Chains A and B, each alone.
Chain A
Amino acid sequence: RKEVEQDPGPFNVPEGATVAFNCTYSNSASQSFFWYRQDCRKEPKLLMSVYSSGNEDGRFTAQLNRASQYISLLIRDSKLSDSATYLCVVLSSYKLIFGSGTRLLVRP
C-alpha cells in the first residue's frame, strides 16, 4: 500500500465549477501536510499547508482529519489556469512523501 494515496483523475470540469480532491495517508506519525501543484512536469510548487482547523486561501480550502488520516482540497470558481496536477504531500521522518497526483482539466 502506498503511503499517500490519491485518485489520479483526470477531473474534467467547466470554468466556474467547484471541485474537490481527496487524499489518505497511512503513517499516523506524519508531521505536516501540504498540497503542491505541478504543471507539465515542471517543479512542484507549494499551494498551501493543511491544518486540522482547516485553512483557506482565496478560492482554495484545505482540510485535515487526523483521526481518519484524510486530507482534502476544495477549489471554488475554477479557472482555466487551475489546470494542473495537484499533489498531496506528507512530511514524515524529515522527508516529503508525495501522492501520485490528481490531474485537473478546466475547460472553457
Chain B
Amino acid sequence: GEEVAQTPKHLVRGEGQKAKLYCAPIKGHSYVFWYQQVLKNEFKFLISFQNENVFDETGMPKERFSAKCLPNSPCSLEIQATKLEDSAVYFCASSQSGDLAYGYTFGSGTRLTVV
C-alpha cells in the first residue's frame, strides 16, 4: 500500500509488562526507521533497517528494547518489562533509500501508555 501502517494505534501496559508494536512499510521501501516521541516534542531515533538487516541501532536502549524486520511480515518493536518513562508515541517511517528525507513516509504512530 501507499501508507505506512502502524498497529495498534493505542496500547496500555502496566509497568513490567511487555509491549509489541508493528509497522508495515510501503511496498518497495527497503528502509524502515523507528522514532520515539515523548512529551515536549522530543523525537528520538531508535533504530533503522535496510530490508531485514539492522542498519543503525545507535539509539536503541540496549536492555529492554528489541526490533525486527523479517521478510513478508510487518516490522516489530518490542519493549520487555515496560517502565513509566517508555510512555510515548512511537513512529515508524519507511523510505526507498536511506539518504533522501523527502522519501521518508511516517506512519500515524502507536501511543504507548505505561501505567
Q: What chain A residues lie within 8 Å of B33 (beta carbons)?
A: 95-96
Please measure, in the bound complex, the distance between the C-alpha atom of A105 and the C-alpha atom of B55, giving whole angstroms: 38
Q: What chain A residues lie within 8 Å of B48 (beta carbons)?
A: 94-95
Q: Which of A38, A43, A49 contacts B102 (CB 8 A)?
A: A49
Q: What chain A residues lie within 8 Å of B100 (beta carbons)?
A: 32
Q: Is A46 an interface residue when CB atoms closer than 8 A count as contact?
A: yes
Please measure, in the bound complex, the distance between the C-alpha atom of A96 and the C-alpha atom of B42, giving whole angstroms: 13
Q: Is B89 an interface residue when CB atoms closer than 8 A count as contact?
A: yes
Q: What chain A residues lie within 8 Å of B56 (beta carbons)?
A: 93-95
Residues of A in contact, count (CB < 8 Å): 24
Q: Is B76 an interface residue when CB atoms closer than 8 A count as contact?
A: no
Q: Is B40 an interface residue when CB atoms closer than 8 A count as contact?
A: yes
Contact B99 A41 (CB under 8 A): no
Q: Is A100 an interface residue when CB atoms closer than 8 A count as contact?
A: yes
Total of A-B residue pairs, C-beta within 8 Å: 61
Residues of B in contact, count (CB < 8 Å): 24
What distance in Å separates the Cβ of B97 from its nearest Cβ neighbour in chain A?
9
Contact A100 B99 (CB under 8 A): no
Please measure, in the bound complex, the distance between the C-alpha atom of A7 and the C-alpha atom of B37, giving whole angstroms: 18
Q: Is A31 an interface residue when CB atoms closer than 8 A count as contact?
A: yes
Q: What chain B residues lie within 8 Å of A43 (beta carbons)?
A: 91, 106-109
Q: Which of A42, A45, A85 contacts B41 (CB 8 A)?
A: A85
Q: Is A104 an interface residue when CB atoms closer than 8 A count as contact?
A: no
What distance in Å separates the Cβ of B22 from its nearest Cβ neighbour in chain A?
15
Known A93-B56, A96-B45; 11 more pairs at CB < 8 Å: A8-B41, A43-B106, A46-B104, A91-B101, A94-B55, A94-B98, A96-B33, A98-B41, A100-B40, A100-B42, A101-B41
4 nearest A-B pairs in the assembled complex, by CB-CB distance: A98-B43, A43-B106, A94-B98, A101-B41
